[in-house]
Amino acid sequence: MTKRFPADRRVNRTPAPSIRWMVELLRTLAFHRIALRYKESLLGFGWILLQPVALTLIFTYIRRVADIPTGDIPYPLFVATGLVAWSLTSVAIAQASISITGYTDVLKRIAIPKLLLPLAALSATLADVGILALLWGGLFLYFQPIFSWNFLWVPVILGVHLLLLLGLCSLIALANVFFRDIGHAVPHLIQLWFFASPVFYPTSLVPKEFRLLARWNPMTGIIESYRSVLLTGHAPAPDLWIPAIVVTVAVLGLGLFLFWKFEGILADLI
């Protein structure tokens, strides 16, 4: 009697891409997004500086009219810190919203890990905002050259910030495949989130009835943590930092789970 063995299901399975191949693809996609964004642009990378610099000047002027307390921190440095963090957030989300639908032809011809597309949008944005961070560094040295061991918190805060954005970028890129109105709604949602976050004002100005909501806005904890570490030399405040971490873990987990669940049908939907 011939004994039959179950067929090896791995025979017809496409080999998993290597880590090196994915890193090279991610780098290529990120550079492509940067080149595409500034193609035939007169100012080039100057566009990434224009809005934050203009907003810093505008809010500095407004501060002369409105009483916005920032303690011993010079207001231009206070608002610039918030704007650098916010620029990373807003540009990454805006770019991620079209990160999958913008590569329709590629996805229909080549099987690539779809998560690399929003990740490439985030990587390209990080390169852009790096230029803005250099400008912030000059402002910091001009106004407040104070250094502290708590500066070691910066990579931790940036890591949480990037993980939050990876989760958000994944969710928004995926949602835009199913609902194309998402791409139109994103700029308006970003603007609302901007005013709900302490970019140009301290959290002490938030009315008491909204402070719980503000505390669970992850950008509140992230922006205030940057300011606490860089501008005062203090560690992040736990009452704002811990909610930011909790929300980040939840958003990242949801984004990666939904991507894993729907990745196989994305090419058919676009």
Pair of tokens at residue 210: 């909204």
- What confidence score (pLDDT) does residue 269 get? 65
- What confidence score (pLDDT) does residue 190 get? 95
- What confidence score (pLDDT) does residue 7 get? 44
User: In the chain, where are the structural domains located?
Assistant: 45-269
Instruction: Report the half-sphere exposure of 172 (CA within 13 A, side-chain side).
Output: 29
- What confidence score (pLDDT) does residue 3 get? 45
Sign of the Cα torsion 52, 54, 55, 61 reads: positive
Report the Cα 64 to chain-centroid distance in Å: 31
Q: Is 245 exposed, middle or buried (0-12, 13-18, 19+ CB in 10 A)?
A: middle
Helix spans in the chain (H): 19-37, 46-65, 75-96, 104-109, 116-143, 153-178, 181-196, 211-215, 218-227, 238-262, 266-269
Query: Which residues does the chain have with pLDDT short of 50?
Result: 1-14
